[in-house]
Amino acid sequence: MKYFVMAFEALFINKLRAFLTTLGMIIGVFSVIVMIGLGQASQAYITDQVKGLGAGVLIITPGNPKSQTNGPPGVNTAKTLVLEDAEALERLPGIRYVSPNVFLQNMVSFERNALPAAVLGSTPNIVEARGFKVGQGRFFTDQEARTASQVIVLGHKLAQDLFADTLHRPLGSRVRIGSQRYRVIGILQEQGSGLFGSVDDQAFMPTKTFQNTLKAGKGLNSLFLKVTEEDLLPVVEARARTLLRYRHGLRESEEDDFKIQTQAELLETVSMITRVFTFLLAGIAAISLIVGGIGIMNIMLVSVTERTREIGVRKAVGANRQDILMQFLIESATISLTGGTLGIVLGLGITRIATQAINLPFVFSPLAVVGAFAFSAGVGIFFGLYPANKASRLDPVEALRYE
Amino acid sequence: MAPVIETRLLNKIYRGAIDYHALHDIDLQVQSGEMLALMGSSGSGKSTLMNILGCLDRQSSGEYVLAGEAVAGLNDAELARIRNQQLGFVFQNFNLLPRYSARQNVELPLIYAGLSPRERHKRAVEALEQVGLGDRINNRPNELSGGQKQRVAIARAIVNRPTILMADEPTGALDTRTSEEILQVFQHLHKAGLTLMMVTHEPDVAACCQRILQMQDGRLIDDRQIAQRSLI
């Protein structure tokens, strides 16, 4: 107890110095907390989105999983899945719908406004599959999808930007992609960014329209396959595999040229990616925590030198080595714990505000808080140990003589 | 009655490129209630002897018994305990902690003695009153004159009721009049039963003691009782 009083007294004497040293710790802990907080928030969001696909969903992506590096879904370059595959799969029993998706980055323009946007070709059931809400107008229908109508549904922000400074309303207007024109029939509600990029910046049209007009080739980027009952998932997966292998003319010895994942598997993949990402960010942030610790060590070393006489006096009146060691150690621990606590509070506050601002769920992680607190205590003790030990070993006669 | 301080063949050698023999076979006895001065020119070894007797430093060889306890074999923590309980120090340059008030400075030894804050407070105020600074307990050292600072240092030295008070040139940084005041404080404490030992090179100061030890080149060359010049 007496050591704590001494530590506070000593820190109070050098307020500015103590504050600046504490600031190092605050920033360190703050950045770790914010990084972990944002990482976990996006992880929670992405997980929610994947869960939103529903349990009875298979995701089929082109390309051989073993001969290809892992990446987010939809960026595979292999074009082994075609629209006919989707139609064939739709005829399998136990399937509720098949949603073939194609994707291309393209310039979308209206009058003088031109914007780069992700254009997706899909089927009407993508609305259900990805939980879209239509703000104005409507999504395209099965009829329009079959007949490859030149219609388009715009994301919220894309519609806003595209029709900014024009006298036209988006609905019913025709936007241009390349040389083709598409009638805007609907605008989605604002959704925020997610697993498949920001929906607000995307445009949607029927897959057939996409393939007919945008010359993107026959390949599909992904196929969502919804089964009628979840129990059927393994059976449907096996049948879909057999069917696709047959359609692609694969021999017994050849590997699949596509990849079938269940929602659970996809969940595992994306949460692993985001977890690695979170750790990476937190790891980088932890470097600043170590820098903060070095700051503490530096200031404690200065303090020991400055207070050599004080140490001599204390020893002369009966302080033993342990007393001096504890005094300085608790001083550095006080700096780091104060900094840690403030950093945690500040970090949680900022994470809360930031997640609200970008529409992510706020995830409170007790583990991160306890971890940051323990780590900052550890930093204080670790980096305080050397200066404290140095102080405690001072020879009283030498220390008293020190000028 | 056993002496407070007893040394036998005390030697101090500073090891280095050339060994320096600072103390040579010091045999010394100090009885309880004595007031003695340790004199000698600079480099005579008087401060070295004082530091060893004050358990701030260790002898190279020889025996030293302080208040019945052999000091030679003790570790750092035990020496710290002896400094805390048996000894009080007064230095030439006061050595007060500048950011602490007079009372906080005086309380310092009691913190390491493990006393409660209330008890520390009470005893610190008592000690300050004893040296005539009862009205200055909350002043910081920079708000005190040299003589007052030295009184605070004396209060700090006696607050834990030591067996012996050791003063290293206690009047060295003070003018003549203030020096006399400090010596008066010492004589009062001596009269109250405290054993005092001071290092000085001023004959006037030494004359206020009852016994004078003379040192030269690390040896005790003279030890005599004198008629004390009483200031009280």
A97-112 pLDDT, tens per residue? 888 888 888 889 888 8
Counted residue by residue, chain A has a size of 403
A297 is a domain residue: yes
A370 is a domain residue: yes
- Same structural domain for residues A337 and A383? yes
Greater confidence (B143 vs A126) lies with B143
Task: Give the integer Cα–Cα distance in Å for A29 and A343.
Answer: 5
Task: Mean pLDDT check: name the lowest of A63-72, A104-113, A149-158.
Answer: A63-72
- Same structural domain for residues A217 and A346? no
Residues of chain B neighbouring A395 (CB-CB closer than 8 A): 57
Q: What is the pLDDT of residue A74?
A: 45
For residues B115-125, give the mean pLDDT: 94
Q: What is the pLDDT of residue A197?
A: 61
- Same structural domain for residues A235 and A163? yes
Residues of chain A whose beta carbon is less than 8 angstroms from a beta carbon of chain B are 2, 9, 13, 309-310, 312-323, 395-397, 400
- Same structural domain for residues A224 and A284? no
Q: What is the pLDDT of residue B79?
A: 93
Residue to mutate among A310, A317, A321, with most B CBs inside 10 A, is A317
- Same structural domain for residues A136 and A221? yes
Task: Give the integer Cα–Cα distance in Å for A97 and A85.
Answer: 13
- Same structural domain for residues A346 and A284? yes
Closest chain A residue by Cα to residue B166: A316
Q: What is the pLDDT of residue A68?
A: 47
Do the beta carbons of residue A198 and residue A144 sit within 8 Å? no
Cβ separation of B56 and A314 shorter than 8 Å?
no
Domain of A97, in residue numbers: 79-256
- Same structural domain for residues A239 and A291? no
Q: How confident is the model at residue B72 (pLDDT cuts 50, 70, 90)?
A: confident
Question: Which of these three, A226, A256, A286, is where a domain ends?
Answer: A256
Cβ separation of B99 and A9 shorter than 8 Å?
yes
Residue B195 CB neighbour total at 10 angstroms: 22
For residues A351-375, give the mean pLDDT: 85
For residues A288-303, give the mean pLDDT: 89
A220 is a domain residue: yes
Q: What is the pLDDT of residue B170?
A: 93
The H-assigned helical ranges of chain B are 46-53, 76-85, 102-113, 117-130, 146-158, 176-191, 203-206
Question: Which of these three, A224, A256, A288, is where a domain ends?
Answer: A256
Phi, psi (degrees; rounded to nearest 5) at B199: -90, 130
* Alpha carbon of A24: minimum distance to chain B alpha carbons (Å): 26
Supply A144's token pair: 């329009």
- Same structural domain for residues A123 and A37? no
Per-residue pLDDT for B162 more than 90?
Answer: yes
Q: How many domains does chain A have?
A: 2
Task: Mean pLDDT check: name the lowest of A230-239, B22-31, B145-154.
Answer: A230-239
Phi, psi (degrees; rounded to nearest 5) at B133: -120, 30
Is CATH 3.40.50.300 correct for B33-57+75-225? yes
- Same structural domain for residues A284 and A368? yes
Residues of chain B neighbouring A398 (CB-CB closer than 8 A): none
Task: Give the integer Cα–Cα distance in Å for B213 and B161.
Answer: 25
Q: Could you give the dihedral angle defined by the CA atoms of residues A249, A254, A257 and A260, in that order, rounded to the nearest 10 degrees?
A: 110
Residue to mutate among B111, B118, B161, with most A CBs inside 10 A, is B111
Q: How confident is the model at residue A204 (pLDDT cuts 50, 70, 90)?
A: very high
- Same structural domain for residues A123 and A216? yes
Q: What is the pLDDT of residue A66?
A: 52
For residues A221-243, give the mean pLDDT: 86
A374 is a domain residue: yes
Per-residue pLDDT for A42 more than 90?
Answer: no
In chain B, % of residues over pLDDT 90 = 82
Per-residue pLDDT for A193 more than 70?
Answer: no
Cβ separation of A316 and B81 shorter than 8 Å?
no
Q: What is the pLDDT of residue A117?
A: 87
User: Which of A10-24, A132-146, A223-237, B210-224 is most confident?
Assistant: B210-224
For residues B24-46, give the mean pLDDT: 92
Cβ separation of B80 and A309 shorter than 8 Å?
no
Q: What is the pLDDT of residue A79?
A: 63
Task: Give the integer Cα–Cα distance in Å for B141 and B143.
Answer: 5
Q: How confident is the model at residue A212 (pLDDT cuts 50, 70, 90)?
A: confident
A56 is a domain residue: no
User: Which of A8-22, A48-62, A114-128, B98-112 is most confident?
Assistant: B98-112
Greater confidence (A74 vs B67) lies with B67
Cβ separation of A313 and B109 shorter than 8 Å?
no
Q: What is the pLDDT of residue A196?
A: 57
Name the average pLDDT for chain A: 84
A378 is a domain residue: yes
Task: Mean pLDDT check: name the lowest of A23-32, A75-84, A353-362, A386-395.
Answer: A75-84
Do the beta carbons of residue B30 and residue B36 sit within 8 Å? yes
Q: What is the pLDDT of residue B85?
A: 93
A87 is a domain residue: yes
For residues B95-122, give the mean pLDDT: 93
Q: How confident is the model at residue B158 (pLDDT cuts 50, 70, 90)?
A: very high
Per-residue pLDDT for A401 more than 80?
Answer: yes
Task: Mean pLDDT check: name the lowest of A72-81, A187-196, A378-387, B159-168.
Answer: A72-81
Name the average pLDDT for chain B: 92
Greater confidence (A303 vs A63) lies with A303
One-letter identity of residue A78: A
Task: Give the integer Cα–Cα distance in Å for B167 and A51.
Answer: 81
Nearest to B112 among A13, A323, A396 (CB): A323
Per-residue pLDDT for B57 more than 50?
Answer: yes
- Same structural domain for residues A327 and A381? yes
Cβ separation of B80 and A9 shorter than 8 Å?
no
* Alpha carbon of A341: minimum distance to chain B alpha carbons (Å): 28
